[in-house]
Amino acid sequence: MPSGGKMKCSCGYVQQEGKIIEKRKKEKKIEVMDSSIDNKHLPEISADCSQCKNNKAYFWTIQTRSSDEPETKFFKCTKCKNTWREY
């Protein structure tokens, strides 16, 4: 890097002369599930809920990151409706 030059990353980090001078992160708003989707149309699988210890959950996937990365898996507990995701 030339003396006094800046390097910028698309994620918001800016580095000047070897020191990070900005640490902005882009915020992504992710819609977890369209409320018009009825749970009875989602597959039910075995998955452990961390809140109520139930072992059944609804399951769906959404492409939340770039297309060359795997989909994000979402789960919704059939008992307490707790929702979580796995990358």
Catalytic residue positions, numbered: 68-69
User: What SS3 state is found at 31?
Assistant: coil
Measured CA to CA, the distance from residue 12 to residue 9 in angstroms comes to: 6
Radius of gyration of the chain (CA): 20
Measured CA to CA, the distance from residue 15 to residue 21 in angstroms comes to: 6
Strand order in the sheet with 83-86: 44-46, 56-62, 72-77, 83-86
